[in-house]
Amino acid sequence: MSQIEDLTHQLFTLVLNETRIGNSISFENTDFPSNRGPVCRGPKGDYYIDLSGECGLLGHSHPLIIKTTLMSALTGKMFLKDLERKQILEQVEESFSKILGLKVFIVEPSVSDQDFSNGRVPSFLSSDRFSDLKNGKTIVLKNIFSEDIGLSIKKEKFSGLKSSASLNLSQQISRFLIEGGFYGENGLVKKRELQIRESLQDTSPFQSNYGLIVNLKNNIKNKLIKMDEKKLIFPLSFNQETLSEISNSLEGKKCS
């Protein structure tokens, strides 16, 4: 291992360890809070659990995100050549085609719906969304990559994901999803679904959950949990301690 490789590995390990234990990271007289999974810490020590879907499919500070971002920064390339960009986009398309069992292409996200089922249900897309895709509609993937993208069975022009960092991260996330065994009845998402249900089903506002999406009976005003209306949207990364904290909070022990 060369000296630069050794130092890069040390930096990656240091950042990863600090995020795991929730420490802030100081750099040039600035403290950067380290978030983990759905857990968010502000620079002044404020703390909340983000279940609005905005922390992405993998959650905050996932090792894949940290490592890919660091490697992209070290290359010094802001943008890739057209051929390089095209090859990466084709690899992402191939990954999603394997997941869905249907040949799909990345296209402009022509509709602005708020469907967070993408990647958070055992079949990757809920059945109605998959039917829409098969019937030629564009499906918008939200909060999976650094920006929204569209999927379609029709090949069309796509102008997004231009920076090398966005492209490399998209490539790694899509590969991670296809190789990680996340989908299907024995996949990680299904196991997470059962884990969430077992932890939350005895709380009074819990109604149902499908994959990583929890439906509540009513709206909850809560300082600890950031959520969409009557809905909790989990990332793939969370732990039992976080689930217990959410369960206690839903029961009113930490409600505003």
pTM of the predicted structure, to 2 decimals? 0.87
The total of structural domains in the chain comes to 1
Query: Does residue 61 lie in a domain region?
Result: no
Query: Does residue 184 lie in a domain region?
Result: no
48: its two tokens = 């909340």
Domain of 105, in residue numbers:
82-179
Hey, which residues does 52 pair with through a beta bridge? 233
CA pair distance 125, 57, nearest whole angstrom: 13
Query: Does residue 129 lie in a domain region?
Result: yes
Query: Does residue 92 lie in a domain region?
Result: yes
Query: Does residue 15 lie in a domain region?
Result: no
- Who contacts 68 (Cβ-Cβ below 8 Å, separation ≥6)? 165, 168, 169, 172
Query: Does residue 149 lie in a domain region?
Result: yes
Query: Does residue 43 lie in a domain region?
Result: no
pLDDT in tens, the chain (256 residues): 577 778 777 877 877 777 776 777 777 777 777 788 999 887 677 889 999 988 899 998 888 888 888 878 777 778 888 999 999 999 999 999 999 999 999 999 987 677 788 899 999 999 999 999 999 999 999 889 989 999 999 999 899 999 999 999 999 999 999 999 999 999 999 999 999 999 999 999 999 999 999 999 988 888 899 998 899 999 999 999 999 999 999 987 644 4
Query: Does residue 17 lie in a domain region?
Result: no
